[in-house]
Amino acid sequence: MAGSGYKDYFQVLGVDRGADSDAIKRAFRKLARQYHPDVNPGDASAEARFKEVSEAYEVLSDPDKRRKYEQFGQYWNQAGGMGGGVPGMDVDFGRYGNFDDFINDLLGRFGGPGGAGGFQSSGFPGGFPRGGAGSRAPVNLDAEATVNVSFAEAFRGSERTLSVNNERVQVRIPPGVKNGSRLRLKGKGNLQPGTGRRGDLYLNLSVKDHPVWRLEGDQLKADLPVSLDELALGATVTVMTPDGEAQVAIPAGTAPGRSLRLKNKGWQAKGGRGDLLLTLALVMPSSWSSEEQQLLEQLRRQRSENPRHGWLRSAAL
């Protein structure tokens, strides 16, 4: 595309000629998302516009190419033996799962250190060269990625195989990780061409919610459904823990909302297993049998205490 004639890349991105790299990046992100083929399936004009926007960003985000473009105009891509086109513009959109996968890889390639197979360079935009021609700022080659793990994987630990820079990387997720935990893989980040330098890869773990268990701080908790008679009369009930089934005794006269503690049945921690807290949740039946209703009528006649006695006094204004 660049070899077919002069293009005003500033006009293509809709920025001033004095725009800095941050403004150029923002404009590119906005336009790339607008014209991406996933957003405009089957629209050839949108795809052409998308490639034109990408070409403009590739040139203006690189100080050396931008200098040549501003100095030589339509002949910029012949200056210094650059050749007749912009590399990397034949994009196979089918290899990307979504727009963010594509845009992170594209920004990584245009930024210089190379893409990370969908992993976002934590140095962007600081990794882009700044300053005059011939000077380069230090490039941050570190990369980041978010890895979704199940609640069970977070509790027990697991192993994952990731694809980074066309390399398969084995990752061990230790037991007891929490949502937002960060793992560092040394020397598995972006590779700087021609130097052999490579950054680190940082994995941000996102732990999926569980329908029963919840982690609050270091405390593993769950609600335990119980019946009215189990609370009133007491009972030994079978419960599920992360380790399997267990027996729990509910004392007679226990009020709903009270928590029972199971020692060393909770979350994995450095010092060992924490405790598990089960909060008793009263579950009322959707309907009562005639026998149950008769027993409840007897209970109402025999009840010796008004449950609202203290409340009536305290509530008076």
Please, what is the Cα angle at 256 between 255 and 257, to 5 degrees?
A: 115
> Which among 141, 139, 126 has a CA at the least distance from the CA of 189?
141
Q: CA Rg, the chain, in Å?
A: 31
> Which CATH code fits 214-305?
2.60.260.20
Architecture (CATH level 2) of domain 1-91: Orthogonal Bundle (1.10)
Please, what is the Cα angle at 51 between 46 and 57, to 5 degrees?
A: 125
CB atoms within 10 A of CB 188: 23
Give the span between the Cα atoms of 50 and 1, in whole angstroms.
12
User: What is the CB-side half-sphere exposure of residue 64 using CA atoms within 13 A?
Assistant: 14
The model's pTM is 0.51
Give the span between the Cα atoms of 164 and 295, in whole angstroms.
67
Buried-exposed string 136-157: b where 16+ CB fall within 10 A, e elsewhere:
eeebbbbbbbebebebebbbee
Distance separating the N- and C-terminal Cα atoms of the chain: 80
Structure-model confidence comparison of residues 105 and 204, the more confident one: 204
pLDDT tens digit sequence for 189-205: 887 777 778 888 899 99
Q: Which helix (H) or strand (E) holds 204?
A: strand 201-207
**Residues 124/140/184/143 CA torsion (nearest 10 deg):** 40
Q: Which helix (H) or strand (E) holds 31?
A: helix 21-35
Tell me, which fold does domain 112-209 have in CATH?
HSP40/DNAj peptide-binding domain (2.60.260)
Please, what is the Cα angle at 136 between 130 and 142, to 5 degrees?
A: 90
pLDDT tens digit sequence for 261-313: 999 889 988 878 889 999 999 999 999 999 999 999 999 998 888 888 888 88
Residue range(s) occupied by CATH 2.60.260.20 in the chain? 112-209, 214-305
Give the span between the Cα atoms of 71 and 195, in whole angstroms.
29
pLDDT of residue 207: 94
pLDDT tens digit sequence for 16-62: 888 898 899 999 989 988 888 878 888 888 888 998 999 889 889 98
Mean pLDDT over residues 56-75, rounded?
81
Mean pLDDT over residues 63-68, rounded?
85
| CB of 192 closer than 8 Å to CB of 114 | yes
Residue range(s) occupied by CATH 1.10.287.110 in the chain? 1-91
Angle between helices 63-72 and 44-60 (to 10 degrees): 100
Bridge partners (DSSP) listed for residue 250: 235
Structure tokens at 16: 């001033």
